[in-house]
Chain A
Amino acid sequence: MNIMHVMVAPLALMGIMGGVFGALLAVASIVFRVHQDERIGKIRAALPGANCGGCGYPGCDGYASGVVNDGAPVNKCSVGGAKVAEIIAGIMGVEAGASVPVRAFLKCKGTCEASPRQLTYEGIQDCRSAVTVPGGSPNACPFGCVGLGTCVSVCQFGALSMGDDGLPKVDVSKCVGCGACVENCPKGMFTLVPVTADVIIACNSHWKGPAVKSVCSAGCIGCTLCEKKCPKQAITMDHDLAVIDQSKCIKCGICAKVCPAKCIKTGEKYTVMEKSA
């Protein structure tokens, strides 16, 4: 009796409880099955299944139900591009609309050489952790790239790698423009630019010139020279940082030539990527 009570009863009770609950849940999942719109399944099948979240929905399943239930635009999938947008538009019976593919771009030229590291950070090797130090960054420039490679670890497409100079490099042939790096960079270093863009400001600092110069030799000092020399008025100043309106830019490259800090990047040949447009 003792053995029965000590060993068998608890095992039996837990076994029975687990079995009953399991069976109940199994039955419930059949009884309470929610019938989905069949278009959701079709759209899900057309999507690439990368679950990158670049569309702003939690994974491809979330986007598929978003298109059907919440009227999300059909061209939000940056991985699938125009081809997938067309298929989804066909399922939903609407026009696909133009979708210019975008790629990630690092708004910083603050290499180890140009922007010296201010202190040695020995905490968790993740940018999101490093920016919690007082001052907002282990580096002298609080706007610049922290350089611990959080973006590299969140990129599902292997498009990012850390360079020897302390900055991540974007491989535009692998980047699909999902925006995972944009979201996860605690400094907001990345921006998504159309693949057709060729002239981009590679700095994120809103400080005034002397302050920028004291922490980085490659940062935008807000001299407004590019704004004045641009033949199309495509450049405006936002608190001592130049901003290019890509819809006005004619890729003449004059701004990059006159920039004293050389922080305007051009000639990176993003245009070769146009084949997927």
Chain B
Amino acid sequence: MSMTELFLLFVSSIFVHNILLSRFLGCCPFMGVSSKLKTAQGMGAAVVFVIVLASLMTWLTYNYLLVPLHLEYLYTLSFILVIAALVQFVELALKKLNPVLYKSLGIFLPLITTNCAVLGVAVLNMNEGYGLAASLVNAFGSSLGFLLAISLMAGIRERIEENDGIPDSLQGLPMALITAGLMSIAFMGFTGIIK
């Protein structure tokens, strides 16, 4: 892939194919951890960290382990194994090597182990047949898209909380779901800027 193609892939993975708002992966934290802007950003940062690392590891697993052994069909199982072990390992290592980063990401790391966005990006990379560079760019872009979407959502929800005009039956989660739908429609506007 040329530099231009990589750049286009980067932009499209953030906006056009936003992992939350157009691929609808990882919606659980999008609803669950988006009520405060600060925690949403912590979650987003942890997701960026884990998705990039996990994409690297799963790409290596797929291309240097599963393909030579003709066991491609085991990708789901082995990806989950790799991601779970990786997150555990990173958590242990961070605790020792960088306690400050551990404090800000720590509680979110175990949550991400089972997040479908992480597995989703790994599987997408595989299905699209991306090389290592393209996989990493796609992973970084997708996870930045996650950070962007969850931060926007948290910002909006913080303001909605202040609003007294919302009917009783719509307060809280119902309003958040409607907001998510509207945001998703807004992001449809990006469709077409890149083929």
Establish whether residues B74 and A13, one from each chain, have CB atoms under 8 Å apart when the complex forms. yes
Which among B70, B71, B78, B89 is the interface contact of A28 at CB below 8 angstroms? Answer: B89
Question: Contact at A5–B70, with CB atoms within 8 Å?
Answer: yes
Q: Is the CB of B81 within 8 A of A9?
A: no
Q: How far is the CB of B15 from chain A (nearest CB, A)?
A: 35
**Contacts A10-B71, A21-B85: A136 and B168 contacting too (C-beta < 8 A)?**
yes
Query: For this complex, into which size category does the number of interface residues on chain A fall?
Result: 10 to 19
Interface of A is mostly: helix
A25 touching B88 by the CB < 8 A rule?
Answer: yes
Contacts of B88 on A, CB cut-off 8 Å?
25
CA distance A136 to B167 in the complex (A): 12
Set B85, B95, B168: member contacting A32, Cβ < 8 A? B95
Tell me the residues in window 22-42 of chain A with beta carbons closer than 8 Å to chain B beta carbons: 24-25, 28-29, 31-34
Q: Show 29 residue pairs from A and B whose CB-CB distance is below 8 angstroms, ordered by the A residue.
A: A9-B69, A9-B71, A10-B71, A10-B74, A13-B65, A13-B69, A13-B71, A14-B77, A14-B78, A17-B81, A17-B82, A18-B81, A21-B82, A21-B85, A25-B88, A25-B89, A25-B92, A28-B89, A29-B92, A31-B96, A32-B92, A32-B93, A32-B95, A34-B95, A34-B96, A134-B168, A134-B169, A135-B168, A136-B168
Instruction: Identify the closest chain A residue to B73 (Cβ).
Output: A10
| Residues of chain B with a CB closer than 8 A to A18's CB | 81
Q: How large is the interface on B (under 10, 10 to 19, 20 to 34, 35 or more residues)?
A: 20 to 34
- Least Cβ distance of B7 to chain A in Å? 35
Give the one of B70, B85, B88, B93 with max A CB within 10 A.
Answer: B85
Q: Which residues of A contact B81 (CB under 8 A)?
A: 14, 17-18, 21
Bound CA span A28–B99, Å: 16
Find the B residue at minimum CB distance from A14. Answer: B77
A interface footprint on B40-69 (CB within 8 Å = 1, 0 otherwise): 000000000000000000000000010001
